[in-house]
Amino acid sequence: MLRATGLMPARAAAPVELARLEVLRTEQGLAIDFDARFELPAGVEDALLKGVALHFVAEAELLRSRWYWRDKRLAQARRTWRLAYQPLTLNYRVSLGGLSQTYATLNEALRAIQRLSPWRIGDADDAQEADSLEFRYWLDVDQLPRPLLISVGNQPEWSLRIERTILLPPAR
């Protein structure tokens, strides 16, 4: 198993830190482990407590560089978490696909959406051809209710986002 770790500086509009991003290349394919760290800004947390569900998205793409055209996308994977506050039970609910989990505190709920391990990105053939991996993690404001989306505008506290590109070592 080969591991590659991204050590390039992250581009983030808000205080989002990518504490760990590891690429695992195995016989079955390529997977990643990531751990993002951030706290919700006051305005975002206030909207959550007033019943607005937040959607966080993690997306990874395996690319092969080409000199004559754009890089070729070999594989793409995407995960979307929904974070909602349940005022009757005073709990936070995190949903991923059809699965949901309830947490007593906001910190516990955030830890559930800030990391994923292991997350399979591509199969063995894609892992052999891939030169780089592009990783993105963000708060998807496009899924907010329309009235709130209009008022959010370009407020920096709503732009929780991080992007990272890792150059992969050649496959053996």
Query: Token digits for 12?
Result: 């983030």
* Under 8 Å between Cβ of 120 and 30: yes
27 domain-assigned = yes
153 domain-assigned = yes
Closest CA to 10 of 25, 21, 24: 21
Which residue segment(s) compose the domain that 154 sits in?
A: 2-167
172 domain-assigned = no
* For residue 140, pLDDT beyond 80: yes
DSSP for residue 150: H
pTM of the model: 0.85
Q: How far is CA 90 from CA 39, 51, 96, 160, in A?
A: 19, 12, 20, 25
The whole-angstrom separation of Cα 20 and Cα 29 is 20
Total domain count for the chain?
1
114 domain-assigned = yes
pLDDT tens digits, one per residue of 63-95: 988 888 888 899 999 999 999 999 999 999 999
pLDDT of 66 reads 83
Instruction: Report the relative pairing of strands 132-139 and 161-167 from DSSP bridges.
Output: antiparallel
pLDDT tens digits, one per residue of 23-36: 988 788 899 999 99
Handedness of CA 152, 144, 106, 160 (dihedral sign): negative
pLDDT tens digits, one per residue of 39-71: 999 999 999 999 999 999 999 999 988 888 888
Task: Say which amino acid occupies 63.
Answer: L
